[in-house]
Amino acid sequence: MTRDEIAHIMQETSGQHWGDEAHFQRFAARLLKAEQDRCCQIIYGMCDSDNVAQRTVDKIRRGE
């Protein structure tokens, strides 16, 4: 993830109280989702079987 992407996510999640605990929780959750999505795209591109790819992606999204 680039610095620009991280900065964009930080701006998206800032709300009215930048720097409070809720902001950091939103920021961390959004970063995690972005990284999971990126990993899932790579897996779909690398797997020969959509079934294998889907099972792997499901495990990533569940945090396994």
Domain residue limits, the chain: 3-62
Q: Does position 18 have pLDDT exceeding 80, yes or no?
A: no
| Mean pLDDT value of segment 9-25 | 79
**What's the pLDDT score for residue 16?**
62
pLDDT in tens, 29-51: 999 999 999 988 898 888 888 88
* Assessment of whether the complete model's pTM goes beyond 0.75: no
**CA–CA gap between residue 23 and residue 7 (Å, rounded):** 13
Contact of 32 with 61, CB cutoff 8 Å: no
What is the dihedral angle through the alpha carbons of 43, 6, 61, 52, rounded to the nearest 10 degrees?
0
Q: Which residue has the higher pLDDT, 62 or 64?
A: 62
